[in-house]
Chains A and B, each alone.
Chain A
Amino acid sequence: MDFQTRSMRLNNIRRTAANYFISGLSILATIVVILPLIAILFYLVYKGASSLNFAFFTHIPAPVGEQGGGMANSIVGSGIILTLASLMGIPIGIAAGVYLAEFGRGKPLATAVRFTADVLNGVPSIVMGISVYSLIVVRQNHFSALAGGVALAIMMVPTITRTTEEMLATVPHAIREAALGLGVPKWRTAISVSLRTASPGIITGCMLAFARVAGETAPLLFTAFGNQFWSLKLTEPIAALPLQIYVYAISPYDEWHRLAWAGALVLIVLIMVSVTLVRIFANRGVLKGGS
């Protein structure tokens, strides 16, 4: 009896210790992952916030040697390119994902599409830029916002396709059967039932893809090209935040370095704000007790 209780107590201590040890490891790992993110954000605020002023958001870059100037054209330009990329990339990506998950099961075409998406995901972004350069820029004989949008759209597609497929795979088969059993055609079931049930995860996937390409510089070098002046035309070269940051960061001027830091801060904040807005918007109209 005495022996038993002692061994039980020992067991208890060992179990508690193991629990603390593993919990500690998990917390440590979380900190290791989050710390660099917070450090980057703080460093950006520290370096960039002082150069932020009203002019930064309303003026175009000042000529070399002049003080001041801003990145208004780059902010708007990035907005235009990203809107174009999202308008092209998100529908195509989701449509391909729906095909893979709902219609392509076990078909050779689906295997090919899946393989292509995975390869496309691994293609370096500079290669994407050069491809779009030779496909669009060379044919049109000039750089353009449209070409930039296409380059980023192509980069968004594989991520969105694979996330959509994976999210649709988590939708229980019983829900599809419920719709089919009511005499709902298969295409309608795929769109109104499967896709709708999986939509929170798919929206997250789209946001990840968006955030990823929002900071891309390489694919824009050969396509959108950048622009020191105002341009809202889709067929003209257009400014973009990552390009402007790149140009300023490699320049020899201290003033431009400061502006590059400010641009980086603005870029990150804009990405965070747009992702948050989409999340809030997507969560509206979710019913009580739904999933």
Chain B
Amino acid sequence: MGVGILVEDLNAWYGTNHTLQDINLHIPANHATALIGPSGCGKSTFVRCLNRMHETNPIARATGVVRMGEVDIYKDASPVEIRRRVGMVFQRPNPFPTMSIYDNVVSGLKLNGFRNRRILDETVERSLKQAALWEEVKDDLKKKSGASLSGGQQQRMCIARALAVDPEVLLMDEPASALDPVSTSKIEDLIFQLKSQYTIVIVTHNMQQAARVAENTGFFLNGKMVEFDSTHKIFTNPKDKRTEDYITGRFG
């Protein structure tokens, strides 16, 4: 089951560039939350702060409190522990090219030393079914490289890979922006089904996508969160003039 995320006074920097400024936000458990905003507004940086991927860049740093359930992820846990509880799907599908489909899906388990064959088999089937990819690949699991699949299939495999480690939160950084419309709608269907079990945070450039999949939406601009509300409210009756300008296409 998913957990809620509470963010207090989160600030982040790349070098001297202050990319996130005083973000305060509560992301409810087992819901999909969309983050929208123009390029460079800090929304990607924000999700990367939620699993401490931000700090893999040597010039990046972050301050503030991010509470995942009871855990303060910057104080109570190591980055490695946090990333096992928080799955991440990236903008471009990034399968491990040397691994089979099977090994790609259970890579999170195998690379952490887990070897029980029966459980690995079960995990592969469960995760691929959750990602709606099982029927398409079940005959080639160990024969084909993960990189041999189409872009849309690769992205669903990456979602299966993230789900295989049984996370509580799923972060998706523009997961459909490199995909065609058919693959995109498959990914959106998936998000719709998965949010009953996981807390999902999805960054998107596509406002229709946010409207379709998310209960809540946050609007980011220049490193600040301008507005956070129910998706319906953001798109029909935003409080802030800047949000209204953005969703009506007057800039960005």
Contact = CB atoms under 8 A, between A and B. Distances in A.
A224 B217 CA distance: 73
Contacts of A185: 80
A183 B99 CA distance: 18
A175 B93 CA distance: 9
Q: How large is the interface on B (under 10, 10 to 19, 20 to 34, 35 or more residues)?
A: 35 or more
Given A180-B83, A181-B51, A193-B111, A106 B58 contact: yes
Interface string A173-193: 011011111111100110011
A252 interface: no
B97 interface: yes
A290 to B, nearest CB: 3
A172 to B, nearest CB: 7
A63 B161 CA distance: 68
A172 B94 contact: yes
Contacts of B97: 175, 197, 290-291
Interface in B80-108: 80-85, 87-88, 90, 92, 94-100, 107-108
Nearest to B56: A180
Nearest to B81: A183
B131 interface: no
Interface stretch (B139-147, B183-191, B237-245): B139-147
Given A181-B90, A182-B165, A196-B98, A288 B143 contact: yes
Given A105-B58, A182-B165, A192-B111, A287 B94 contact: no
A106 B161 CA distance: 32
Nearest to A172: B94
A185 B165 CA distance: 14
Q: How large is the interface on A (under 10, 10 to 19, 20 to 34, 35 or more residues)?
A: 20 to 34
A289 B88 contact: no
Contacts of B145: 287-291
Contacts of A189: 111
B104 to A, nearest CB: 9
B94 A182 contact: no
A291 B94 CA distance: 13
B111 A289 contact: no
SS class of chain B's interface: helix, strand, loop or mixed?
Answer: mixed
B144 A184 contact: no
B84 A175 contact: no
Contacts of B87: 181-182
A197 B98 contact: yes
Interface in A276-291: 287-291
Question: Most chain-A Cβ atoms within 10 A of its Cβ — which of B53, B108, B111, B143?
Answer: B111
Contacts of A183: 80-85, 108, 112, 165
B120 interface: no
A290 B144 CA distance: 8
Contacts, number: 95
Contact of B56 (A177, A196, A290, A291): A177
A193 B96 contact: yes
Given A288-B143, A289-B144, A184 B53 contact: no
Contacts of B99: 287, 290
A88 B97 CA distance: 30
A290 B108 contact: no
B162 interface: yes
B94 A197 contact: no
Interface in A178-229: 178-185, 188-189, 192-193, 196-197, 199
A183 B107 CA distance: 10
B112 to A, nearest CB: 6
Contacts of B94: 172, 174-175, 177-178
A182 B148 contact: no
Nearest to A171: B97
Contacts of B149: 289
Contacts of B92: 174
A181 B81 contact: no
Interface in A51-77: none
Contacts of A182: 83-84, 87, 107-108, 111-112, 161-162, 165
- Pairs A-B, 10 closest by C-beta atoms: A289-B148, A290-B145, A183-B84, A182-B108, A183-B83, A287-B145, A181-B88, A174-B94, A178-B94, A184-B111
19 contacts: A177-B90, A177-B94, A178-B95, A180-B56, A180-B83, A181-B88, A181-B162, A182-B87, A182-B162, A183-B82, A184-B107, A184-B108, A184-B111, A185-B80, A197-B96, A287-B98, A287-B100, A290-B99, A291-B147
Interface of A: 105-106, 172, 174-175, 177-185, 188-189, 192-193, 196-197, 199, 287-291
